[in-house]
Amino acid sequence: MTTDCLFCRIVAGEVPAARVAESERSIAIRDINPAAPVHVLVVPKRHEPDVGALASSSTEDLADAFALIAEVARQEGIATDHRIVANTGSGAGQTIFHAHLHVLGGKRLPER
């Protein structure tokens, strides 16, 4: 845990967040600035700066995050129509440097 990391503080329960689901290695929370009707962040409990670093350090944590994404998508009614996004680096729009994945759905999303 990094004490100056917002997601580490959310994982530790120090900062409130709307939790949607949780596994042994990850949590799922609602995005505070949703880009779609369903916008959930899946955040590994392990602090790594981005998804690539997470994959290099723990394939188990990465696999757990994707398993939680599937659970969240089913729970939110978007299992067959959702997008998964991982921003890496500020140039790609990453603003919190703790690995996380965006799960978006609930409307027709534009092609990208």
Element holding 72 (H helix, E strand): helix 59-75
| Identity of the amino acid at 104 | L
Q: Looking at residue 55, what is its pLDDT?
A: 97
Instruction: Name the domain count of the chain.
Output: 1
Gap between the Cα atoms of 78 and 107, Å rounded: 9
Gap between the Cα atoms of 110 and 112, Å rounded: 6
Q: Looking at residue 79, what is its pLDDT?
A: 97
Inside any domain, residue 86: yes
Each of the 112 residues of the chain gets a pLDDT tens digit; together they read 777 999 999 999 999 999 999 999 999 999 999 999 999 999 999 999 999 999 999 999 999 999 999 999 999 999 999 999 999 999 999 999 999 999 999 999 998 7
Inside any domain, residue 91: yes
Say which residue the tokens 């990208």 belong to: 112
Gap between the Cα atoms of 10 and 78, Å rounded: 25
Q: Looking at residue 49, what is its pLDDT?
A: 97
Q: Looking at residue 1, what is its pLDDT?
A: 72
Containing domain of residue 44, as a range? 6-105
Q: Looking at residue 2, what is its pLDDT?
A: 76
Q: Looking at residue 48, what is its pLDDT?
A: 97
47 is catalytic: no
Catalytic, out of 39, 47, 82, 100: 100
Residue 107's contacts (CB-CB under 8 Å, 6 or more residues apart) are: 36, 37
Inside any domain, residue 30: yes
pTM: 0.95
Say which residue the tokens 């996380």 belong to: 100
Domain CATH for 77:
3.30.428.10
**Which residue, 105, 25, 30, 98, is CA-closest to 68?**
25
Inside any domain, residue 77: yes
